[in-house]
């Protein structure tokens, strides 16, 4: 939530900042801003700050009118938390002299008391944000340090930031520039991501890799609590205690860090179309070629040590949003295929009402971005409360599932499954949902094989089904892209849609409803089809379409009966089901091939995504950057 970027080196900073922000705009687009410091021949430099409400394009236009010069600068793209999305609340925020600027991603939880304290000392605030306390605190600290005769320097700025950070409660990543020091900037992080990119004689620091990928491949992810002074000559890195830290940078590999829309109108559309490739990559990486040789490799190759699987008596999964929906499918598989009792929690609920501790529990944190504050905090809490118990049966066993191995989650958990879907820019998760599902199939198969909870032939059939998936997805995406584009106009005035599913497809109904809500702003509910008659059926009439997922298997007949009940209330019925006489009751059919019920969510989700996409696109909405949302939710 919010993206920050900072640069120092030999080139003009503003164009680099704007390009970095363009890559980070998925993190928030309520406003954007930048500040640069230009060196002047005599004495200190000159700080220029530009800010604009709304999307980055507005800041770009402002920059074209009022260029901000200098080789050192910071930038910000905002998702509003404290204070409305107005220009006065846009970052950077300045101190009283207008010469010290700060951008921040996170929440300063004690900002109210700090604000009162600063106001009592005469500080006048110009915004409603929590961030504005930071430049004033640093400024006051600098004034104190300088009153003892010390000259302005990068080291002095670093020292002032280090003195102020312990006063800030909460999670943050921040960057600071000072007009007095055109050759220095300071960055710091606590529980919010920040990475430094090392170029040639220049450094770029950003909240996420896409902002760095076009600049350099050599990166230094900052650890929690670290503070760094960046100058054109190098990086001075300090830990939270002020000790100098030396760390070897790492390399960004592959193209997965580069965001490119190709010929698609929206990233979401492109990412939906990338799913056959996501599946093909997953199959190639995790399903070893079939072999009859004795001692042939196991069904699924997962980069996990045997101890992750040993002695697990139950599993708890912590996640938010779409990741939670994938986890619900995962729980179904882990219970029904591998026979392990599994619970899924909203990470935000788990934090404040965790279940009583049970022994031999595997805790899985699922987050596409690897940065969702609630999911990370729930994992930390679980580790801490288990750490208080002496009995090793209660020891924390943490596993992460993410699309961003280099994220905070990657550094938090000892074991990680990287879904490897490549960068996803559209705020609505699509290909990463498929990647998460596939990861759960792999995990459940690995457990089932080790526990012999299903016969080898049954497991092998599922593996064969997974191998067929890329080709099936390719056909399905192309077909439903066409069909859903044709259908979209039917929803021009729709205000409510109900999505029904049962069993393993109930989470897909939830996901279908979430996709529609977040990008088309149509009210939608996902419901277990059998629950409709216990209340929600009262909502139905001819103006409320019902999307019903009816796949052959354990609950096929039941779902069809539930669909009939909706039809009897005049609802327009859209079926996600195989073609055939059983499914003739649907007014509109989005056909899906009749695969093994256990594999069906991998297919049924495709029409859900495309229907939402085309409805939103038909309404002319901003599909990739829906109102009020951000791609990674790094605040509680």
Binding site for ligand M6R (CB under 6 A): 320-323, 367-369, 372, 375, 427-429, 514, 518, 632-633
DSSP 355: P
Asked about 517 being catalytic, the answer comes back as no
Q: Which residue, chain included where needed, has tokens 């009402």? A: 353
From CA 372, how far away is CA 222, in angstroms rounded?
17
Cα(452)–Cα(532) distance, integer angstroms: 37
Phi, psi (5° rounding) for residue 194? -160, 130
Catalytic residue, from 2, 205, 320, 484: name it. Answer: 2
> Concatenated DSSP letters for 131-188?
TTHHHHHHHHHHHHHHHTTPPP-HHHHHHHHHHHGGG--EEEEEEEEETT-TT-EEEE
Q: Residue 595 Cβ, how far from ligand M6R at the closest point, in Å?
A: 24
Are 449 and 417 in contact by the 8 Å Cβ rule? The answer is: no
Backbone angles phi, psi at 522, to 5 degrees: -90, 135
Distance, CA of 318 to CA of 347 (rounded, Å): 5
CA–CA gap between residue 511 and residue 272 (Å, rounded): 14
Cβ–Cβ < 8 Å for 275, 422: no
How many CA within 13 A on the CB side of residue 546?
Answer: 33
Q: How far is the CB of 433 from ligand M6R (least distance, A)?
A: 8
Q: Report d(CA 199, CA 34) in Å as an integer.
A: 21
Q: Is 205 a catalytic residue?
A: no
Q: Copy the structure tokens of residue 603.
A: 């297919």
Helices (H), 337-372: 347-350
Q: Is the dihedral of CA 466, 471, 474, 475 positive or negative?
A: negative
Q: How many helices (H) and strands (E) does the chain have?
A: 17, 24
3-class SS of residue 363: strand
Residue 31's beta-bridge partner residues?
A: 53, 78
Residue nearer to ligand M6R on the CB measure, 31 or 368: 368
Chain residue whose CB lies nearest ligand M6R: 321
Shortest Å distance, C-beta 447 to ligand M6R = 23
Give the 3-state secondary structure of residue 576: strand
- Taking the C-alpha atoms of residue 362 and residue 447, their distance in angstroms, rounded to an integer, is 12
The upper half-sphere exposure of residue 504, i.e. CA atoms within 13 Å in the direction of its Cβ, equals: 27
Residue 421: which residues within 8 A CB-CB, separation 6 or more? 274, 278, 403, 431, 432, 434, 435
Residue 443 CB: number of other CB atoms within 10 A? 26
Which DSSP helix (H) or strand (E) runs through 51? strand 46-53
Q: Which of 431, 515, 517, 631 is catalytic?
A: 631
Q: Which of 100, 99, 98, 130 is nearest to 115 (CA)?
A: 130
Contact 37, 178 (CB under 8 A): yes
Length of the chain: 636
Measured from the CB atom, is 70 or 400 closer to ligand M6R? 400
Segment holding 431, helix H or strand E: helix 431-451
Query: Token pair of 54, please?
Result: 């709304």
Pairing type for strands 342-346 and 314-319 reads parallel
Tell me which residues are annotated as active site: 2, 631
């Amino acid at each position: 939530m919010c993206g920050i970027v900072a640069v120092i080196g030999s080139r003009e900073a503003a164009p680099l900042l704007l390009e970095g922000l363009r890559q980070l705009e998925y993190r928030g687009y309520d406003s954007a801003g930048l500040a640069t410091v230009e060196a002047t021949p005599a004495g200190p430099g000159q700080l220029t700050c530009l800010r604009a409400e709304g999307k980055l394009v507005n800041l770009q236009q402002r920059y074209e009118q009022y260029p901000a010069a200098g080789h050192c600068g910071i930038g910000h793209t905002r998702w509003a938390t404290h204070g409305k999305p107005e220009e006065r609340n846009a970052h950077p925020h300045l101190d009283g002299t207008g010469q010290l600027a700060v951008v921040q991603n996170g929440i300063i939880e004690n900002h109210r008391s700090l604000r009162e304290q600063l106001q009592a000392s005469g500080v006048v605030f110009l915004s409603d944000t929590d961030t504005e306390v930071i430049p004033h605190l640093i400024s006051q600290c600098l004034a104190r340090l300088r009153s003892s005769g010390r000259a302005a320097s990068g080291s002095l700025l670093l020292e002032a930031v280090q003195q102020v950070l312990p006063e800030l409660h909460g999670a943050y990543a921040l960057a600071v520039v000072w007009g007095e020091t055109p050759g220095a900037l300071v960055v710091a992080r606590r529980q919010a991501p920040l990475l430094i990119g090392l170029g040639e004689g220049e450094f770029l620091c950003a909240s996420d890799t896409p902002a760095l990928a076009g600049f350099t491949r050599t990166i230094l992810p900052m650890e929690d609590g670290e503070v760094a002074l960046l100058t054109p000559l190098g990086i001075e890195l300090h830990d939270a205690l002020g000790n100098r830290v030396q760390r070897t940078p790492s390399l960004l590999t592959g193209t997965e860090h580069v965001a490119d829309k190709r010929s698609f109108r929206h990233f979401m559309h492109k990412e939906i179309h990338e799913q056959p490739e996501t599946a093909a990559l997953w199959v190639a990486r995790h399903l070893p070629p079939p072999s009859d040789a004795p001692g042939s490799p196991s069904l699924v190759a997962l980069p996990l040590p045997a101890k992750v699987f040993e002695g697990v008596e139950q599993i708890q999964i912590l996640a938010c949003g779409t990741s939670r929906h994938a986890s619900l499918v995962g729980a179904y598989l882990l219970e029904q295929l591998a026979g392990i009792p599994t619970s899924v929690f909203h990470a935000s609920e788990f934090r404040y009402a965790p279940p009583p501790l049970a022994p031999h529990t595997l805790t899985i944190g699922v987050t596409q971005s690897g940065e969702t504050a609630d999911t990370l905090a729930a994992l930390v809490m679980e580790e801490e409360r288990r750490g208080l118990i002496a009995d090793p049966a209660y020891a924390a066993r943490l596993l992460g599932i993410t699309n961003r191995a280099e994220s905070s989650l990657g550094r938090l958990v000892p074991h990680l499954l990287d879904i490897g879907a490549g960068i996803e820019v559209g705020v609505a998760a699509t290909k990463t949902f498929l990647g998460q599902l596939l990861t759960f199939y792999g995990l459940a198969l690995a457990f089932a094989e080790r526990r012999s909870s299903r016969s080898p032939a049954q497991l092998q059939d599922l593996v064969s089904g997974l191998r067929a998936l890329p080709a099936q997805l390719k056909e399905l995406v192309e077909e439903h892209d066409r069909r859903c584009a044709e259908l979209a106009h039917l929803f021009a005035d729709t205000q409510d849609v109900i999505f029904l599913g049962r069993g393993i497809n109930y989470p897909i109904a939830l996901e279908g409803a979430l996709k529609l809500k977040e990008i088309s702003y149509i009210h939608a509910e996902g419901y277990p089809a059998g629950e409709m008659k216990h209340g929600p059926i009262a909502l139905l009439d001819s103006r409320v379409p019902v999307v019903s997922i009816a796949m052959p298997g354990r609950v096929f007949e039941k779902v069809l009966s539930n669909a009939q009940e909706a039809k009897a209330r005049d609802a327009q019925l859209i079926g996600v089901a195989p073609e055939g006489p059983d499914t003739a009751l649907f007014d509109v059919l989005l056909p899906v091939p009749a695969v093994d019920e256990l594999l069906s969510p991998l297919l049924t989700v495709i029409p859900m995504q495309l229907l939402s996409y085309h409805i939103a696109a038909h309404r002319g909405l901003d599909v990739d950057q829906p109102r009020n949302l951000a791609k990674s939710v790094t605040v509680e």
